[in-house]
Amino acid sequence: MPSNTPPVADLASLAKFAGQAVTIRGWVHHLRSSGKVRFLVVRDGTGLAQGVLVKGNLPEEDFKQFDRLTLESSLILTGRVRAEPRAPGGYELEVISLQPLNIAQDYPIAPKEHGVAFLMDRRHLWLRSPRQQAVMRVRDEVCRACRGFFHARGFLEVDTPILTPTACEGTTNLFETDYLGRGKAYLSQSGQLYLEAAAMALGKVYCFGPTFRAEKSKTRRHLTEFWMVEAEAAFYTLEDIMQLAEDLVRFVVLKVLENQEVQLQILERDPTPLAAVSGPFPRLSYAETLARLQEQGKEPAWGEDLGGDEETLVSQMFDRPVLVHRYPLSCKAFYMEADPKDPRLALCMDMLAPEGYGEIIGGSQRVADLDTLLARLEEHHLPQEPLEWYLDLRRYGSVPHSGFGLGVERLVAWLCGLTHVREAIPFPRLLDRLYP
RNA sequence: UCCCCGGUAGCUCAGCUGGUAGAGCGGGUGGCUGUUAACCACUUGGUCGGCGGUUCGAAUCCGUCCCGGGGAGCCA
């Protein structure tokens, strides 16, 4: 190696080095040979670039190394960057040195069709594919946009526990573990109750973390481990939280459109339906929603929660997310405040993403009164003792407050146009999958 | 848990009115001085998911179990 090694360049910024010699480090994405001219496409995590090996332009030894290369072999290349219209990206590297680091053996994922099970078993390798990389970049943008939004609104990030002594809602199945011989602990299915405590301390708070549900759900919308952004604010009403949820989703979607246009192109995701979020989101009461469904020939019974089919129908009625509010109290969780104008209804809301993606947010105004909450616990057959701390929030300066939770994978799936949430998280946990 | 569909080469699949297995891609070898999922030639490749049954004979028909996919309920 010459003593003056050329600078290392990211493939994404190769154009800046036009005319100069650079070093690039990465993995073989593609190989082609035409005798004495050989091509390889390298990826380095920032992008792709083509290298050209012309016999005579580099040491014969290095030229021969090309024949050893396989898909996903790692290597270090040096060469001169030059504009080349025939190369993908418009620039290519005229290789003057090729140094393999590791020759990959039998890389299983070809740039061909593969079945879902095959790819999921190799998720650790599948992540290297351009589409999967694009999804991860959109996910990263979503996460950062959420945090940016809340900080701009004066919300404080508060981390809630993952190991919990009790169920938050009692209804869904929990993952159970032994807690050092002191009894059972459960993996958190929501940070909400703790977030309510934090809101009484800090006013406006949010959390961002994994949640776990041991539901035997086998659908395109379910994971057993998924990430949720939850917000909780003292003195916020249902109307306030609906506006906050709408503003959050609008902000996040516009950020993705602004910063991740290239990824959406890789995913062949038409951005037009996403751009509709800049307008106000329609709001429908549960009663109005039932009426709309009846127009479509459905006959949903009052008092029932909306099923997946009905959600899909409602979300297809609009070109942007829709907020459905004031469901019957009877089909909702114990902590939801009743509507003073109609006590049969809960001050709650769901946000349904368009294009059939369904629920991405669920939220409500919380019960503020101690006696009401106690009565609710009884109705739902929930034990009072483990929730004494939660009841304390109603004993010591209770105030009206509201919050919601946003499912990160569902939002990412919608933004990327995915058919299943399992591609929206790096290593999905599903009913029948705990590997890799 | 329930209802559908599927399991054949490393991958994606064809073969399924019973007669002992095929394609494309991948892998390997050779050729090619501008390739774009390159191309051309040759070549390698299989307990047809497991077990049991029917039959002279089963990838094919029947039973059962296992695994995968899609959907329902529940939810973000």
* A25 beta partners: A76
Fold match, A11-102 / A121-424:
no
Which of the nucleotides lies closest to A421 (Cα–C1')? Answer: B76
Output the pTM of the full model: 0.94
| CA-to-CA dists, residue A200 to A228, A234, A236, A276, A387, angstroms | 21, 6, 12, 36, 16
| CA-to-CA dists, residue A89 to A132, A152, A301, A389, angstroms | 20, 37, 56, 59
A 105-144: CB within 7 Å of strand B: 106, 108, 110-118, 120
Question: Please, which residues have CB within 8 angstroms of residue A297's CB and are 6 or more apart in sequence?
Answer: none
CA angle A337, A318, A218 (to 5 degrees): 70
CA distance A130 to A73: 16
Least Cα distance to A200 among A57, A390, A10, A413 occurs for A390
- Phi, then psi, of A253 in degrees rounded to 5: -65, -40
* Nucleotide B34, nearest residue via CA and C1': A37
CA angle A351, A354, A358 (to 5 degrees): 55
A 200-229: CB within 7 Å of strand B: 213, 215-224, 226, 228
> Strands A322-325, A204-212: parallel, antiparallel or unpaired by DSSP?
unpaired
Q: Per-residue pLDDT for chain A (436 aa), expressed as one digit of tens each?
A: 445 689 999 999 999 999 999 999 999 999 998 888 999 999 999 999 999 999 989 999 999 999 999 999 999 999 999 999 988 888 999 999 999 999 998 899 987 789 898 999 999 999 999 999 999 999 999 999 999 999 999 999 999 999 988 755 554 578 888 889 888 888 998 999 999 999 999 999 999 999 998 888 888 899 999 999 999 999 999 999 999 999 999 999 999 999 999 999 999 999 999 999 999 999 999 999 999 888 887 777 788 888 878 888 888 889 999 999 999 998 888 999 999 999 999 999 999 999 888 899 999 999 999 999 999 999 888 888 889 999 999 999 999 999 999 999 999 999 999 999 999 999 999 888 888 8
Q: Looking at chain A, how many residues does it have?
A: 436
CA distance A117 to A123: 10
List the A71 CA – B56 C1' distance (angstroms).
51
**Three-state DSSP class for residue A41:** strand
HSE toward the beta carbon, residue A218, CA cutoff 13 A: 4
Q: Which nucleotides of B are covered by protein (CB under 7 A)?
A: 1-2, 10-13, 24-28, 31-39, 67-76
A 29-68: CB within 7 Å of strand B: 30-37, 39, 50, 52, 54-56
CA distance A245 to A241: 6
CA distance A431 to A214: 8
Yes or no: say if A88 and A266 are a contact pair by the CB < 8 Å rule: no
CA distance A205 to A244: 12
Which of the nucleotides lies closest to A113 (Cα–C1')? Answer: B12
Q: Residue type for A207, please?
A: C
Least Cα distance to A364 among A399, A329, A390 occurs for A329
Strand B and A307 CB separated by under 7 Å: yes
Helices (H), A102-217: 116-121, 123-126, 130-152, 192-202
Would you state the pLDDT for residue A385?
87
Yes or no: say if A197 and A393 are a contact pair by the CB < 8 Å rule: yes
CA distance A245 to A249: 6
**Three-state DSSP class for residue A124:** helix
Question: Please, which residues have CB within 8 angstroms of residue A381's CB and are 6 or more apart in sequence?
Answer: A170
Strand B and A361 CB separated by under 7 Å: yes
* Nucleotide B26, nearest residue via CA and C1': A110
Q: Which CATH class is domain A121-424?
A: alpha beta
Annotated domain spans of chain A:
11-102, 121-424
CA angle A321, A323, A324 (to 5 degrees): 135
Question: Please, which residues have CB within 8 angstroms of residue A298's CB and are 6 or more apart in sequence?
Answer: A310, A313
User: Would you give the DSSP letter of residue A316?
Assistant: T
Structure-block tokens of residue A373: 């909450």
CA distance A367 to A393: 11
Question: Please, which residues have CB within 8 angstroms of residue A315's CB and are 6 or more apart in sequence?
Answer: A321, A322, A352, A353, A354, A355, A356, A357, A358
Task: Give the rounded distance of the alpha carbon of A261 from its chain centre.
Answer: 17
Which of the nucleotides lies closest to A311 (Cα–C1')? Answer: B75
Task: Considering the domain delimited by A11-102, tell me its CATH architecture.
Answer: Beta Barrel (2.40)
Yes or no: say if A141 and A303 are a contact pair by the CB < 8 Å rule: no
Strand B and A153 CB separated by under 7 Å: no
Would you state the pLDDT for residue A1?
47
User: Would you give the DSSP letter of residue A367?
Assistant: P
User: Would you give the DSSP letter of residue A106?
Assistant: -
A129, burial (CB in 10 Å: exposed 0-12, middle 13-18, buried 19+):
middle
